[in-house]
Amino acid sequence: MSTATPAPRTFVDPTMLVDDACAAALQASARLALLAPARRADLLDAIAAALDAAGPDLVPIAMAESRLTQVRLTGEVGRASGQLRLMANVIRQGAYLGVTIDEADANLTPPRPDLRRMMIPLGPVAVFAASNFPFAFSVLGNDTAAALAAGCPVVAKPNPGHPRLSQAVIAVAQGALAQANAPKGMLTLIDSSLQAGIDLVRDDRIEAVGFTGSQRGGLALAKIAADRPRPIPFFGELGSINPIVVTAEALVARRSSIVEGFIGSFTLGAGQFCTKPGLLIAPVDSELREALRTGLAQAPDQAMLTDNIRDAFHHGLSLVADTAVVTPIHVGHHVPETNTVTPSLYAVSATDIVQHPHLLDECFGPTALLVEYAGEDDLRVLLEALPGVLAAGVQAQGDESMLPVVLSELTARAGRVIFNEWPTGVAVTWAMQHGGPFPAATRPESTSVGAYAIDRFMRAVTWQSIPDALLPQPLQHANPLQVPRRVNGVQH
């Protein structure tokens, strides 16, 4: 009996030229849009199953390109397949279509014609992969899952940090789609170059863009999308400073656990999460400073994902450290041989940070600011100066008189508001909102995670006085697909 280790699986490179990928996506668009939701759901499930099966072959590629651990990446494969299955569930239920019917009524003044409204897919979508989640926010991440679920072909642009993995993942997905007799061209891949991404957004066959990445890169692409002869929506998730407010009462009652939770959250994954808490807003307290310094002294070295991310991190860190009003609490170090870093933490007063707004910009990596306030008025001025963020939270006892004001200010600026927890985990669920006011995202009404992510890649159409046989099935009198519908104002 042979005990030899099986040879690693090889993957055919599916990369196409931008023009060819867009042409294939356009050709697939009509066929994919006409597929019944249940059929599209089956295709998503097929991709999810293939991704899970290929996980043992894909994870080593991801480890080599990202410096992330096997445990982390194996879990991320499950997250990516779970996102696909969630979207399959969303479209099977049918409510995403938003079917609304107002039947003709000649007795109204003026008489009302028969009106039937529902959502339809936009068409081919460009998806730009993120660097920090090689599976979950990459070429087969939530943007791709949502667009395919909506009935939109996807042209995926890989992140330069993991090009071989992107090729392998798309090859796995394309294999599953081919076996399921899916429309050819519904999922394609271009190369990872900057120019390829620019050409993709400029291509007139692309109807929308999904992007997760840096503010600089996202805004440059958003401008290209807006400046086209025929502008298109750009759904960009651009990162965030993610403030956590600590009340005086909570600090007295739970100082140790708050310190432990904050350090664990902002250093998780070397701080390379868009939901990393970058601001701990707390009362002036020397014991808090000392506890944070002591805790960070034990923090281990962690790897940065890419050289570009490392360089950007050090640049952002220098902008903070060189600001006169900032005081170091713990200064980390960098080991060039391993490209690893330890976390840094600086302190600044609430009044000073308002005067230096660059300190409210995200620094992607293991660093944060302790922002110290002297009283409620001090805190209120700071909260009013905060930019739009993905997530914001409060550590409190629950009965503080200031809580309603704090929560109101955070709600005005955040896509997700958290109580006595930390923001780094983003659940893939129906109720999740992962987005926020600018600069956290380019479209504050949308989410890039969760069931409602599908809404980004659809638009509404109303059919007026159309014969029943010519209507899309969800709008027909018999409702053959049995989708939820609002008829004459009443939900059915």
* Residues that are catalytic: 237, 274
The bridge status of strand 340-341 relative to strand 334-335 is: antiparallel
d(CA 262, CA 299): 13
Quick check: helix, strand or coil at residue 196? helix
CA-angle at 330, arms to 334 and 320, nearest 5°: 75
Report the amino acid identity of residue 142.
N
Nearest partner of 431 among 414, 447, 417, 450, judged by Cα: 450
Token pair, residue 282, equals 């707390």
In the sheet that holds 490-491, the strands lie side by side as 458-464, 115-121, 100-102, 486-487, 490-491
**Structure tokens given for 464:** 């007026």
Candidates 310, 9, 24; CA nearest to 164 is 9
Phi, psi values for residue 47, rounded to 5°: -65, -45
In angstroms, the CA 271 to CA 91 distance is 34
Q: Pick the closest to residue 228 from 198, 202, 195 (CA basis).
A: 202
- DSSP output for 77-114: HHHHHHHHHHHHHHHHH-GGG--EEE--BTTSSSPBPP
Q: What is the DSSP string of 406-432?
A: HHHHHHTTEEEEEESS-TT----SSS-
Nearest CA-CA partner of 175 in 46, 328, 346, 321: 46
Could you give the 3-state DSSP secondary structure of residue 21?
A: helix
